[in-house]
């Protein structure tokens, strides 16, 4: 079990298949700020709202030299359907083997109706242009979150 990441830590490197084909990697984005938001599952109500909110603000993130990447354990094919259905403009990374969710410490034991299971805890990381974590939002509540992240990016 990796220690929990903290502000000031170097962000764990990653490379994975993304929606639309191809790869997304942290290394390829050097020199840009990167918002990495982890979400449980494509096309569920909270995850859809979060993706739409980040999509709505994408032009503002672009102006702030910031790439937004949503990551779940869904396949790239599921990401493609999710992105097309909702006209999403953010990159969706497919962490099918779970290496990235593990590295970022968001693969957690959860509970639903008394049943325990493993799943992604909704969390967001703001990584600066040098690869250092500048903000962490654990246990994200979706409403207003993308706007809060944009304000933090602008404050860098």
Mean pLDDT of 76-82: 97
- The separation between CA 156 and the C-alpha centre of its own chain, rounded to angstroms, equals 19
What pLDDT does residue 15 have? 97
Contact 20, 8 (CB under 8 A): no
pTM of the model as a whole: 0.95
The active-site residue out of 5, 47, 71, 153 is 47
Judged against a pLDDT cut of 90, whether residue 2 lies above it is answered with: no
Dihedral sign of CA atoms 113, 114, 119, 122 in order: positive
Round the average pLDDT of the chain to a whole number and report it. Answer: 95
Which of 32, 64, 57, 59 has the alpha carbon at shortest distance from 148? 57
What pLDDT does residue 3 have? 62
Answer yes or no: 47 catalytic.
yes
- Return the domain boundaries, the chain: 15-154
Sequence-ordered list of residues with C-beta below 8 angstroms from that of 65, at least 6 positions apart, any chain:
32, 33, 129
In CATH, the number for domain 15-154 is 3.40.30.10
Percent of the chain with pLDDT over 90: 95
């Amino acid at each position: 079990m990796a220690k929990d990441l903290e502000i000031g830590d170097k962000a764990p490197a990653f490379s994975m298949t993304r929606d639309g084909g191809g790869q997304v990697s942290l290394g390829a984005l050097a020199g840009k700020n990167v918002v990495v938001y982890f979400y449980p599952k494509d096309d569920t109500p909270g995850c859809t709202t979060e993706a739409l909110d980040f999509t709505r603000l994408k032009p503002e993130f672009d102006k702030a030299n910031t790439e937004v990447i949503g990551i779940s354990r869904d396949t790239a094919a599921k990401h493609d359907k999710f992105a097309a259905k909702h006209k999403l403009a953010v990159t969706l990374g497919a962490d099918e083997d779970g290496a990235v969710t593990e590295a970022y410490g968001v693969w957690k034991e959860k509970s639903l109706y008394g049943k325990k299971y493993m799943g992604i805890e909704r969390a967001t990381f703001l990584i600066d242009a040098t690869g250092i974590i500048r903000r962490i939002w654990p246990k994200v509540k979706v409403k207003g979150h993308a706007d809060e992240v944009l304000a933090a990016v602008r404050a860098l």
